[in-house]
Amino acid sequence: MSTREYAYCLIDMLSEEQLDTFIAFLRSITDIPNEETRQAMLEADRIATDPNVKSYTDVEKMFEEILSEDD
């Protein structure tokens, strides 16, 4: 019996609830980001490593600056 055939046999033995759980598990380990998500991740990496992009280590100072820009 091939591995695929064995997997089919095991799946056939699962209850509907077990099968739902199994499918959810498979989806969680096979999720591949779509193109929009991949592009957003690349942009986030670029921003995080760009020394010319302003960043903050203090949230209070960040909000002070943001709020003072409105004046």
User: Using one digit for the tens of pLDDT, what is the confidence trace for 5-49?
Assistant: 999 999 999 999 999 999 999 888 887 888 999 999 999 999 999
User: pTM of the predicted model, to two decimals?
Assistant: 0.43
What domain range is 7 assigned to?
3-69
Token output for 24? 């959810």
Task: Tell me the C-alpha distance between 48 and 55, whole Å.
Answer: 9
pLDDT digits (tens, 9 = 90+) for 45-71: 999 999 999 889 999 999 999 999 866
Res 43: pLDDT:
96
Burial of 32 (0-12, 13-18, 19+ CB in 10 A): exposed
pLDDT given for residue 32 in this prediction: 81
Domain count, the chain: 1
Residue 11's pLDDT is 94
